[in-house]
Amino acid sequence: MERFSLNQATTKYWPLPALAAGCVEAGVRQVGLWREDIQGYGVKDSRRLMDDHGLTVTSLCRGGFFHDDGWLDANRRAIEEAAMIGAPVLLLVSGGLPPGRRDLDGARARVGERIGELVPDALAAGVQLAIEPLHPMFASDRCVVSTLAQALDLAAPHPPAAVGVAVDTYHLWWDDTVWAQIERAGREDRVACFQLADWVTPLPAGVLLGRGLPGTGAADLRRFVAAVDATGFTGPIEVEVFNEALWSRPGPDILADTLTAFRSVVARE
Amino acid sequence: MERFSLNQATTKYWPLPALAAGCVEAGVRQVGLWREDIQGYGVKDSRRLMDDHGLTVTSLCRGGFFHDDGWLDANRRAIEEAAMIGAPVLLLVSGGLPPGRRDLDGARARVGERIGELVPDALAAGVQLAIEPLHPMFASDRCVVSTLAQALDLAAPHPPAAVGVAVDTYHLWWDDTVWAQIERAGREDRVACFQLADWVTPLPAGVLLGRGLPGTGAADLRRFVAAVDATGFTGPIEVEVFNEALWSRPGPDILADTLTAFRSVVARE
């Protein structure tokens, strides 16, 4: 339980002060936050809120979208906000193909170059960038980084303190090479963030909001927990579930179910 | 153009006799057929219809679903029907995880064993089985074979005359390892079927019926055509597009647009 972190996206409509109080109430000490939410509440006020409740911020979502105009300033701001909120890790979602383009390799290479440009800022801020591979169904419109192998290749030129990877079970569960790549991520000291969500079907239109609480779907989450444990990673395990039906419920109820779900896959048998 | 084959799934609601006449009218000489359609019309009558119109059947969809009860008889019937309709290739979609299971590796291994049991039937019938990797978004509920590498690994123990693989751009376009695997498929003489469809977003609910005509999406289809050509494969190139909006149009119109789309990606620049 001490490794559990509630990613705010799981309780999307729970206002930050209520979320902070609700976490304390439930014995939760760690949260992963989102930029739009802490911006809405004020980044400094959000930090104070977390501190006042004794909550540790495990990650901030997110930078990236490297093909957008203004990507450099946007990512520098994201790094600053991560430092301000006290998050050791900033998740990066690379963005999809530039409009009208089909050159995935080229798009991925450009992502790598642009991450390189952020390395000095990340080191200066003490914020580790976490390259997050998203499921291949997002490759065209959201993230050209689809596998852990690709994320590790992109991270390779940079110091681990600046660039790591995110292991999100929802995106990686289908990949038979992921186990070897998790081992590699450990060996190369790149595991920056570990997130749990389960794979449930049928997928909804747009495929973004159909994730399941851990244990409700097809992903072998226990195997992921064991594999990430085996790398020596002892950091937080976030639960991050985008699901409209879940979101429609009261925050405390979602959190209670999230904790039950977390225990069901993380508890030793 | 002589390599074009219309996969019947692209013109789902076009009755078989109209499809046959429409193909002749449009100068199309090859079709890929589906079992439920030729069963509906009668397999022998379908064969006669194809023969009478001078149409060659390039493939039959499909066998597989190896976790279902009765899989052995069902697949033997599928092989027989492929032979009866004159299709040299029977596509295999493996099926997803057995209900309540999460052991993808085990499910895939079982698919391999069961394909092995079909090899004598395939050889006797002169029908090549084509293992089709589907996009990872179908891994839990439709097909545990998600990459060309996995399909080739499953095919490896068997003679190429009995077991090959299907290269469908819709399912494989996102994979940066696919180019090396297409080369491998050529080297190992496994390319049994080559199908074109494009990747368009947003995906519809259920994600099955959102494919695009070649050239309308994000997949680098020219690169696929060049890569498959480079293996020495000179067989048919099917266009297979599942799309409800497309299906709502008259068969001849769909075929005309399909031909235009095909030329746009296959024509030498």
Count of all residues that appear for chain A in the document: 269
For residues A230 and A224, give the distance between their C-alpha atoms in angstroms, rounded to a whole number: 10
Instruction: Tell how strand B198-199 and strand B30-34 pair up.
Output: unpaired
Task: Select from B97, B136, B150 the Cβ nearest to the Cβ of A136.
Answer: B136
Instruction: Provide the pLDDT for residue B147.
Output: 98
Q: Which of B38, B129, B32, B132 is nearest to B81 (CA)?
A: B38
3-state secondary structure of A13: coil
Question: Tens-of-pLDDT digits for all 269 residues of chain B?
Answer: 899 999 999 999 999 999 999 999 999 999 999 999 999 999 999 999 999 999 999 999 999 999 999 999 999 999 999 999 999 999 999 999 998 999 999 999 999 999 999 999 999 999 999 999 999 999 999 999 999 999 999 999 999 999 999 999 999 999 999 999 999 999 999 999 999 999 999 999 999 999 999 999 999 999 999 999 999 999 999 999 999 999 999 999 999 999 999 999 998 75
- Residue B96 exposed, middle or buried by CB count within 10 Å (0-12, 13-18, 19+): buried
Query: Distance (Å) from the C-alpha of residue A149 to the closest C-alpha of chain B?
Result: 10
| Average pLDDT value over all residues in chain A | 97
CB contact under 8 Å between B103 and A206, yes or no, is no
CB contact under 8 Å between B201 and A141, yes or no, is yes
DSSP B135: P
Instruction: Provide the pLDDT for residue B1.
Output: 84
Q: Where are the alpha helices (DSSP H) in A126-250?
A: 148-155, 169-172, 178-187, 221-230, 244-247
Instruction: Tell how strand B211-212 and strand B198-199 pair up.
Output: antiparallel
Give the pLDDT mean for A201-208: 96
Percent of chain A with pLDDT over 70: 99
Q: What is the CATH number of the domain that holds B112?
A: 3.20.20.150
For residues A3 and A234, give the distance between their C-alpha atoms in angstroms, rounded to a whole number: 8
Element housing A216 (H / E): none
CB contact under 8 Å between B176 and A108, yes or no, is yes
For residues B195 and B4, give the distance between their C-alpha atoms in angstroms, rounded to a whole number: 10
Count up the domains in chain A and report the number. 1
CB of A161 closer than 8 Å to CB of A123: yes
Give the pLDDT mean for A187-198: 98
Tokens for B49? Answer: 């219809």
Within 8 A of A174 by CB-CB distance, chain B residues are 104, 136, 139-140, 146
DSSP B244: H
> Which pTM value belongs to this model?
0.97
Instruction: Provide the pLDDT for residue B269.
Output: 55
A30 touching B (Cβ < 8 Å): no
Task: Select from B104, B141, B199 the Cβ nearest to the Cβ of A140.
Answer: B199
Q: Where are the alpha helices (DSSP H) in B126-250?
A: 148-155, 169-172, 178-187, 221-230, 244-247
Instruction: Provide the pLDDT for residue A269.
Output: 55
pLDDT of A73-126, one tens digit each? Answer: 999 999 999 999 999 999 999 999 998 999 999 999 999 999 999 999 999 999
Which residue is listed with tokens 């400094």? A44
Tokens for A79? Answer: 């790094």
Using the predicted structure, report yes or no on whether residue A201 has a pLDDT greater than 60. yes
Range of the domain at A43: 4-266
Flag whether the ipTM exceeds 0.90. Answer: yes
CB of A145 closer than 8 Å to CB of A165: no
CB of A247 closer than 8 Å to CB of A13: yes
Chain B CA closest to residue A205:
B205
3-state secondary structure of A90: strand
CB of B198 closer than 8 Å to CB of B211: yes
Instruction: Provide the pLDDT for residue B267.
Output: 84
Q: How many A/B residue pairs have CB atoms within 8 Å?
A: 91
CB contact under 8 Å between B136 and A135, yes or no, is yes
CB of A112 closer than 8 Å to CB of A156: no
DSSP A8: G
Q: How far is CA B209 from CA B96, B199, B240, in A?
A: 18, 11, 11
Task: Select from A102, A137, A141 the Cβ nearest to the Cβ of B135.
Answer: A137
CB contact under 8 Å between A201 and B139, yes or no, is no
